[in-house]
Amino acid sequence: MRALYLKEKLVFEEKNIPAPVPKNDEVLIKVNSVGVCGSDVHYWEYGKIGSFIVKEPLILGHEISGEIVECGANVCGFEPGDLVVIEPGEVCGKCEACRTGRYNLCPDMKFYATPPYDGALREYVTFDSSFVFKVPEGIDPEMATLAEPIAVGAFSTKSVKVGLGNKVVIYGSGVIGLCCMIAAFTSGASEVVVTDIREDRLQFAKEIGASATFNSLKDTSDEFNCYFDVAFECSGASACLIDASKKLKWGGKIAALGFNINSTQEAPIAEMIIKEQQLIPTFRYANVFPAALNILLKNKDIFKKFITHRFSFNDAEKAFITARDDKKAVKVLINF
């Protein structure tokens, strides 16, 4: 089968490798579509994200939809032809994190497209059926790839317990920030304000339902000081954590999702202590994929607008260049 490897920074190499064979508890999936995530672009451009460093050729891609073509002997509830998505992390199932339901923190996690584990930019993948989910009717293979970033938003919203009537601010209007926005509204938030430095992204956020937007480079936002119950920091910028503390009410909560290419980020600890604000890091997701698919189904007209560019597997490099450089790009897909 065909597979695309990141050979070194900015350089892809296609290889022909053996197709995988499903084990007893696995399904074999023919890949339909793969979303290009911001993390994929970072690995392609910089070769690392924080402490995750690409040291060997790596297959990127973890936002995947596909069709089951074969089931292992012990698999129940699936059959060939099912359109599915995967929760793209293999866990040990035995450690304390796994046994307490926090398997996203499994120290032996093998997460797709995170060094040294290969991702989905290949024709076929096998995966444990426990982490495979059928796509609801009405959702096509392209839109189904959005289940993974929606799961990030759903998990972070659950972690900070966004509730009825909460006022929320989101730093960063990329796909993850926008998924947090929709998940927050789903959880009962009465108001979600989005901030960014890109006017085009802010306009898109407004178009899909943001209560208000402001450009942190040029808009005055002092009227929002001590205003919000919850903040989502999705940019990885220290300035946003500092500003979030000003915007939050005393006792407010910050969901920290954003990564940058470095491993450290400044936070206003003294001010947060005085105001007893909670900084709650949220890493990937656990136990939310069914909820993410439900959010996708109920908001499919909105999520349809996320998909702005499509490329074939042959043009995967163009997909990455577009995701990095095209100001109109929201979600870029690679289709097989």
Q: Cα(46)–Cα(48) distance, rounded to whole angstroms? A: 5
pLDDT in tens, 224-256: 999 999 999 999 888 999 999 999 999 999 999
> Strand pairing partners for 85?
65, 133
Whole-model pTM: value is 0.95
Confidence of residue 102 (pLDDT cuts 50, 70, 90): very high
pLDDT at 286 over 70: yes
Mean pLDDT of the chain: 96
Of 234, 284, 292, nearest to 65 by C-alpha is 292
Q: Tokens 């349809």: give the residue.
A: 304
Q: Which domains does the chain have, with CATH numbers?
A: 2-145+299-335 (3.90.180.10), 152-281 (3.40.50.720)
pLDDT at 261 over 70: no
Structure tokens at 38: 């911001």
Of 117, 98, 29, 37, nearest to 287 by C-alpha is 98
pLDDT in tens, 194-229: 999 999 999 999 999 999 999 998 887 888 999 999
By mean pLDDT, which of 83-87, 110-114, 267-271 is the weakest?
267-271
φ, ψ at 75 (rounded to 5°): -80, 130
- pLDDT of 226 reads 95
